[in-house]
């Protein structure tokens, strides 16, 4: 089915919440592992309709944040999503309370029970209102960032469209491109700062209510990090410092030698060759056809993938205002 043919219908919130409550009761009382697994499959299928609608609304909204209809649908999910998340949390708690919960590991793998525990630990009804506010802030950021436009070369350009100018062989043009981008963010500095400030306070308050020291602790659970935590991430960061940074320094030194830039500035970071970076040639359709040809040459599996994606309009990679 093509993306344009996918039917969207706003879910019935009361029905979704009632169904979640009913499944939670049934799962807590399931008399066997087989029954619990079957209920879990049914509940997932039921929730799939809600999540599909949520994804469709989000995709349409981010394609053009100015669209009034999809802005309204995104606002509806922002306001109702936390209640659905809390209902899903209650379903997870019911599963974990059942003595046959281990059956889910046999059916779906060993990650499922830790994932359900993380869901229980990351949410409850005390933070629903804060999550609504968090969603509103996230959508406001998307709209503010998506609306970024820059004036350069006599044109009004989106931030992605500035990339070509940032890769110009003329260092003065590269600098102008970055400065043109900065004009928008300078003009909206107060709005970005306000969103950031409110978001930090909101998330830390959620963490405090749920019993964590700060949002950093809660975020590990919400990102569903299983089998590793802050200590392992700190060790990874140290390995990056010791192993990756020296390699990058060498690569940058070679690039500077290749481009002939003796004292590189930040606007020189996008240029890789003295005679300019490789530039795509052809129209949008020609480039997409070239991508299809490349994936066909790689393997039958990648050929099947690219055919499905392109034939069903699953790509929208052109730059556009408010996207």
Distance between CA 84 and CA 207 in Å, rounded? 19
- Answer whether residue 241 is part of any domain: no
Tokens 């990090």: give the residue: 225
Residues 200 and 285 in one domain: no
In angstroms, what CA-CA distances link 243 with 229, 232, 234, 254, 294? Answer: 21, 16, 14, 18, 33
Q: Is residue 179 part of a domain?
A: no
**CA-to-CA distance for 191 and 174, rounded, in angstroms?**
27
Segments in 64-188 forming alpha helices (H): 68-97, 102-108, 112-121, 128-146, 163-166, 171-187
Give a yes or no: residue 237 inside a domain: no
Which residue pairs from 43-52 have beta carbons closer than 8 angstroms and sit at least 24 positions apart in sequence?
A: 43/19, 43/91, 46/16, 46/19, 47/16, 47/20, 47/88, 49/11, 50/11, 50/16, 50/84
Count: domains in the chain? 2
What does the pLDDT look like over 51-66, one tens digit per residue? 999 999 999 999 999 9
* 3-state secondary structure at position 150: strand
DSSP character at residue 241: I
Residue 154 lies in a domain: no
CA distance 62 to 139: 9
Looking at the DSSP assignment, which residues form a beta bridge with residue 149? 158
Q: Express each pLDDT in 5-51 by its tens digit.
A: 999 999 999 999 999 999 999 999 999 999 999 999 999 999 999 99
Whether residues 41 and 139 fall in one domain:
yes
pLDDT tens digits along 99-112:
999 999 999 999 99
Are 37 and 109 spatial neighbours (Cβ–Cβ below 8 Å)?
Answer: no
* Each residue's pLDDT tens digit, 215-244: 999 999 999 999 999 999 999 999 999 999
300 located within any domain = yes
Residue 223 belongs to a domain:
yes
Summarize pLDDT for 86-143 with one digit per residue, the tens: 999 999 999 999 999 999 999 999 999 999 999 999 999 999 999 999 999 999 999 9
Q: Is 113 inside a domain boundary?
A: yes
Q: Are the C-beta atoms of residues 156 and 181 closer than 8 Å to each other?
A: no
State pTM to two decimals: 0.88
Tell how far CA 28 is from the center of its chain: 33
What's the pLDDT score for residue 280? 84
If asked whether residues 304 and 206 sit together in one domain, one would say no
Angle at 78 between CA 74 and CA 81, to 5 degrees: 115
What's the mean per-residue pLDDT of the chain? 95
DSSP-derived 3-state class of residue 57: helix
Structural domain includes residue 195:
yes
Q: Which helix (H) or strand (E) element contains residue 286?
A: helix 284-298
Count, residues in the chain: 323
Q: Residue 149 above 90 pLDDT?
A: yes
Residue 294 belongs to domain spanning: 280-312
Domain co-membership, 141 together with 29: yes
């Amino acid at each position: 089915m093509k993306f344009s043919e996918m039917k969207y219908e706003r879910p019935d919130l009361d029905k979704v919440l009632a169904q979640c409550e009913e499944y939670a009761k049934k799962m807590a009382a399931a008399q066997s592992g087989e029954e619990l697994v079957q209920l879990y499959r049914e509940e997932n299928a039921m929730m799939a309709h809600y999540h599909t609608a949520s994804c469709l609304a989000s995709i349409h909204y981010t394609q053009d944040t100015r669209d009034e209809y999809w802005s309204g649908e995104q606002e509806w999910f922002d306001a109702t999503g936390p209640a659905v998340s809390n209902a899903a949390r209650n379903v997870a708690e019911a599963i974990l309370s059942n003595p046959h919960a281990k059956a889910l590991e046999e059916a779906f793998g060993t990650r499922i029970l830790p994932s359900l525990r993380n869901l229980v630990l990351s949410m409850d009804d005390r933070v629903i209102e804060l999550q609504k506010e968090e969603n509103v802030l996230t959508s406001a950021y998307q709209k503010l960032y998506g609306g970024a436009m820059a004036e350069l070369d006599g044109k009004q350009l989106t931030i992605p469209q500035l990339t070509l100018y940032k890769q110009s062989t003329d260092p003065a043009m590269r600098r102008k491109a970055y400065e043109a981008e900065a004009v928008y963010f300078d003009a909206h500095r107060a709005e970005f700062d306000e969103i950031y400030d409110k978001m930090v306070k909101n998330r830390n308050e959620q963490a405090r209510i749920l019993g964590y020291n700060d949002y950093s602790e809660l975020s590990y659970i919400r990102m569903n990090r299983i089998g590793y935590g802050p200590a392992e991430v700190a060790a990874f960061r140290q390995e990056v410092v010791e192993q990756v940074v020296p390699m990058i320094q060498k690569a940058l030194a070679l690039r500077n030698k290749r481009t002939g830039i003796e004292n590189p500035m930040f606007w020189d970071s996008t240029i890789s060759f003295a005679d300019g970076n490789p530039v795509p040639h052809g129209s949008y359709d020609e480039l997409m056809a070239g991508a299809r040809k490349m994936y066909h040459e790689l393997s039958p599996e990648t050929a099947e993938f690219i055919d499905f994606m392109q034939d069903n309009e699953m790509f929208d990679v052109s730059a556009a205002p408010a996207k």
